[in-house]
Amino acid sequence: MQDYKSSIAFGVIGLGRFGFSLAETLSENGQEVLALDSKESKIKQIQDKVHQAFVVTQLNKETLKEAGLQNCGTVIVCIGEHVEVSILTTLNVIELGIPRVIAKAISAEHGRVLQKIGAEVVYPERDRAIRLANSLTRPRALDYIDLSSEYTITELRLTDKLHGKTILELDLRKKFHLNIIAIVRENETIIEIAPDLKLNTNDLIAIVGRKDNIIKFERLFIS
């Protein structure tokens, strides 16, 4: 291994299913990725797909620095199964001065510890389950970005129930305490939303607000 001087966009530590898919997709999206794992077989699988890939049997600061991890703008620690290793590795990465550190957690307790030491936390298994449940019960909702446990940004495809209605007539802010932040119509994205703008069937709208209010709106006008 050697200390690379050039800046690398992403470092991925741990090439389980989540980490491997993450590193592969980041690379496919045109990003330089440094991938690290303790198993040589994993590194052989990924080495032709990413910028650099190294076998690391120890995850202390010296080894991580030798691999060039300090040159990464963002590092994602994808070690979930071994909680102690996950926490210590995340701490080592943070102490290397990486601008942004994200860590995978497998439980709420695991996540709280990672947050306390300064990492952003993702819950892949939980998030996949939530997304599946939403897709099964809210088929007109296309995507979600959770801002907190209560608030979300949701994309919805409009049905003919709202065709021809204006933003003023819909009055989402007053009736549902929701705000429309964008409308996508064919190839046009509308972000300056005038009160007299008429909605069309199949418009894609992005709305922000409390999850329970979004669900009420969906049940009345989208489903």
Residue 146 and residue 177 share a domain: yes
Question: How confident is the model at residue 141, as a pLDDT?
Answer: 53
Dump the DSSP string for 22-83: HHHHHHHTT--EEEEES-HHHHHHHTTTSSEEEE-S--SHHHHHHTTGGGEEEEEE---SSH
Residue 121 and residue 30 share a domain: yes
Question: How confident is the model at residue 45, as a pLDDT?
Answer: 94
Question: How confident is the model at residue 143, as a pLDDT?
Answer: 65
Give pTM, 2 decimals.
0.64
Question: How confident is the model at residue 65, as a pLDDT?
Answer: 94
- For residue 182, the SS3 value is strand
CA distance 152 to 6: 37
Question: How confident is the model at residue 7, as a pLDDT?
Answer: 83
Residue 71 and residue 109 share a domain: yes
The domain boundary residue, chosen from 125, 159, 191: 125
**Burial status of residue 19 (CB atoms within 10 A of its CB: 0-12, 13-18, 19 or more):** buried
Residue ranges of the chain whose pLDDT lies below 70: 1-6, 127-146, 149, 223
Question: How confident is the model at residue 186, as a pLDDT?
Answer: 83
Residue 141 and residue 115 share a domain: no
Residue 121 and residue 38 share a domain: yes
Question: How confident is the model at residue 3, as a pLDDT?
Answer: 44
Residue 16 and residue 121 share a domain: yes
Report the CATH number at residue 201: 3.30.70.1450
Question: How confident is the model at residue 10, as a pLDDT?
Answer: 94
The domain boundary residue, chosen from 125, 149, 184: 125
Residue 72 and residue 166 share a domain: no
Task: Give the distance from CA 185 to its chain's centroid.
Answer: 25
Q: Based on DSSP, count helices (H) and strands (E) in the chain, helices before strands.
A: 9, 11
Which domain, by its residues, includes 211?
135-221
Residue 93 and residue 18 share a domain: yes
Residue 119 and residue 13 share a domain: yes
Report the CATH number at residue 38: 3.40.50.720
What domain count does the chain have?
2
- For residue 2, being part of any structural domain is answered with no
Question: How confident is the model at residue 87, as a pLDDT?
Answer: 96
Q: Contact, 103 vs 120, CB < 8 A?
A: yes
Residue 112 and residue 188 share a domain: no
Question: How confident is the model at residue 135, as a pLDDT?
Answer: 57
The domain boundary residue, chosen from 106, 125, 144: 125
Question: How confident is the model at residue 148, as a pLDDT?
Answer: 72
Give strand ranges (E) for 70-123. Answer: 72-77, 100-104, 120-122
